[in-house]
Amino acid sequence: ALFSKTPVITSKFSSLPEAAGPSSYQVDPADIDAIAQGMEGILNDDDFRKQMVEKGYLYAQQFRGEPLTHQMMSLYETMLT
């Protein structure tokens, strides 16, 4: 979703907040009102939605193949020296 510039509403539990990033709207999945509030905010507040999209896309860039490959190679080289 982040790579496709889609705002994300996710559970605030487990590893989902880390995966979805700090610009995601994180809720207790059992809290229907919180989910509805997030949906309304995304649908009705253009600035809120745009900020989520822009920050989410930037956050997702760290998981692109090339930068991630360089980070892993650097880690391996450090471990081997």
How many angstroms separate the Cα of 67 from the Cα of each of 9, 31, 62? 26, 37, 7
Which tokens belong to 4? 């496709």
Task: Give the β-pairing of 9-11 and 25-27.
Answer: parallel
Identify any residues that bridge with 9 across adjacent strands, giving them in sequence order: 25
State the pTM of this model: 0.74
Structural domain spans, the chain: 9-80
Residue 2 confidence (pLDDT): 94
State pLDDT tens for residues 1-19.
999 999 999 999 999 999 9
